[in-house]
Chain A
Amino acid sequence: MNPEPAHVEFDGVSKSYDGVTEIVRDLNLAVREGEFLTLLGPSGSGKTTCLMMLAGFETPTSGTVLIGGRAVDDVPPRRRGIGVVFQNYALFPHMTVGRNLSFPLEVRNLRQADIRERVQRALRLVRLEGFEDRRPDALSGGQQQRVAIARALVFEPSLVLMDEPLGALDRRLREEMQYEIRRIHRTLGVTIVYVTHDQQEAMAMSDRVAVFNGGRIQQVAPPETLYEEPERVFVATFIGDNNLLHGRVLGVEQDICTVDTGNDVVSAFLVAPRKVGDAVTLTIRPERVALAPTPGTFSNEFEAPIEDIAFLGDHLRVRLAVCGSADFAIKIPNTVGHGAVLKGDHVRIGWTPTDCRALTPDEEIA
């Protein structure tokens, strides 16, 4: 099945804090050696809980966590050798940057000369040379974050966990740090399990993304696949923009189905194993809808009045009422200048069936 050995594996892991609500439900996930895997999901979906079970601060209610193929149920956090970066940095406020970094090395009884050298190397890695005598409160948020990352790396763990490490930074700094973390990952080749609720951050940084919702994994895939081939409605709407149409299957021919949305019939790419008469949710990205195509180009072509136009700089966002949706959005690149279409205009739109994915409605998936 998978030729590469899994570095980290969640095997049927569930977690409940109060014995009633399951915060994480039957989690099965394998992280490959050297991979950058992101847990992405809305706040409260159980991402931190997964990370804490991996670090050893929480115990699964059932199931097993394996690291390097070995179950770690009985291994306390300090013997797991995992670097952890917390969202609030959690730097030791009473120690200088240098002491923060040497802490894990002193614990390991390294020689002083060795410690000094490794601390210097770690500071170079995060580009904070010369900061070793500063106290954490004399650093900016971004610098504190770098120290936290350096501290999680200085003892050379092969696995590093990061829980929303950039959440407290402003946008510019966040993008810069995303790049820095990517660079460090490439340089060191460590396995990183990263947590964020920001889909753009997940897309920009990860080799693969595991999308969480309500304690369950919705889909695990590389960013492109998540965007182009979402398997769940939740994933389709959580990653990027999507239009949703609801209807019932009228007919199926190979992997293309025709769907009755109430007043219009749409043909779509059948992803889910659905039969004639079943309810389906169709997803179509706003940028995949063509405005005023040459008649007959697409098997899906409809006419509708423009309800609203928003000018967003590089593109226009046009809202239409079509196929039973009162809020159908299309994106028009701003190559023609705005004013090309006007509110109230009757326009023709179209899209190919392969860009329109027919999925099982989320309500039908327990």
Chain B
Amino acid sequence: MKGGIGRNLYLAFCVAVFIFLIAPILVVVPLSFNAEPYFTFTEGMLRLDPDAWSLRWYRSVAEDIEWRRALVNSIVIGVCATALATVLGTLAALGLANPAMYGRSLVMTLLISPMVTPVIVSAAGMFFFYSSLGLAQTHVGLILAHAALGTPFVVITVTATLAGFDRNLMRVAASLGAGPWRSFWRVQFPLIAPGVISGALFAFATSFDEVVTVLFMGGLEQRTIPRQMWAGIREQISPAILAVATLLIAFALFFMLTVEWLRRRSARAAEA
């Protein structure tokens, strides 16, 4: 069959791309259960000998004070930056959705520019700026920096949900006597919530695996998980990093599933 060869080549190519993309992840996960302090599969592991597998690196991560501090930092900075980015991004998207707003596309471009600017450029810029304000090497500084990086995601996802939002609903709410505050929380917010939540998730993920800004701006006290991994790779080579990496992969998987679930939900709501 003539078409058969082309089709098989095509399939082989797809599988190759897939392996190329996924292989590093597939290697990291089993290696994190290594009983030995190596980054390679031991003979025992390959024989599936139960003794060659262990949770020791997970235990060492859980017991290590630096990893714990990194986790707390990641969560504190991530949550605060996400909250800030979500509020600001949602407000910006609401304003930008008003067709009467002057200079809409310019403001939109400015707001989402952190997404396209190389992080190293923004990070360097923020470092000098925040230093002069005394915010470098503080949690507040990192939270602000990560909020700036996360806001564009919120602006984009909320703008997308607002496109399907019937503005007449706000007029109806007003005609029924509701003030702007009540109209927003009772009518608009519940309907754009999927966009707000997925924007928040993107903002959190941005902060959670951001390393460049932290390298510039964070001191020892502000080390986040990715920053700690960076230190771990350079300073104390141990499969504990692989355990952390596996945890991050699990988090990413959970994150993607949640976003997809939200997307389907709002697609269903839009159909109705």
Contacts and interface: CB of A to CB of B under 8 A. Distances in A.
A94 B186 CA distance: 10
B190 A94 contact: yes
Interface stretch (A79-87, A272-280, A350-358): A79-87
A84 B178 CA distance: 13
Interface stretch (B88-96, B124-132, B140-148, B163-171): B163-171
Given A86-B168, A137-B272, A94 B177 contact: no
B176 A104 contact: yes
Given A88-B168, A90-B166, A107 B177 contact: yes
A292 to B, nearest CB: 56
A33 to B, nearest CB: 20
Nearest to B168: A90
B173 interface: yes
Nearest to A104: B176
B174 interface: yes
Given A93-B191, A107-B182, A155 B177 contact: yes
A92 interface: yes
A108 interface: yes
Q: How large is the interface on A (under 10, 10 to 19, 20 to 34, 35 or more residues)?
A: 20 to 34
B179 interface: yes
B175 interface: yes
Contacts of A76: 174
Mostly, the B contact residues are: helix
A56 B168 CA distance: 13
A9 B151 CA distance: 48
A107 B178 contact: yes
A88 B179 contact: no
Interface string A130-147: 000000110000000000
Given A90-B166, A90-B168, A107 B176 contact: yes
Interface string B199-235: 0000000000000000000000000000000000000
Contacts of A81: 177
Interface string A63-106: 00000000000001111111110101010111000000001100
A57 interface: yes
A78 B175 contact: yes
A25 interface: no
Given A86-B168, A88-B166, A103-B186, A93 B272 contact: yes
A92 B169 contact: yes
Contacts of A94: 190-191, 269
A152 B272 CA distance: 22
Contact of B175 (A82, A88, A92, A108): A82
B52 to A, nearest CB: 54
B187 interface: yes
Contacts of A136: 272
Contact of A155 (B176, B186, B269, B272): B176
B172 interface: yes
A158 to B, nearest CB: 14
B179 A78 contact: yes
Nearest to B269: A93
Given A78-B179, A86-B168, A92 B187 contact: yes
A55 interface: yes
Contacts of B172: 84, 86, 90, 92, 151
Interface string A104-120: 10011000000000000
A123 to B, nearest CB: 16
A270 to B, nearest CB: 47
Given A90-B166, A93-B191, A84 B177 contact: no
Given A57-B171, A90-B171, A94-B190, 4 more contacts: A57-B174, A79-B177, A90-B166, A107-B177
26 contacts: A55-B171, A56-B174, A57-B174, A77-B171, A77-B174, A77-B175, A78-B177, A78-B178, A80-B175, A81-B177, A84-B171, A84-B172, A86-B168, A88-B168, A90-B168, A90-B171, A93-B272, A94-B190, A94-B191, A94-B269, A103-B178, A103-B186, A104-B176, A104-B177, A151-B172, A152-B175
Interface of A: 55-57, 76-84, 86, 88, 90, 92-94, 103-104, 107-108, 136-137, 151-152, 155
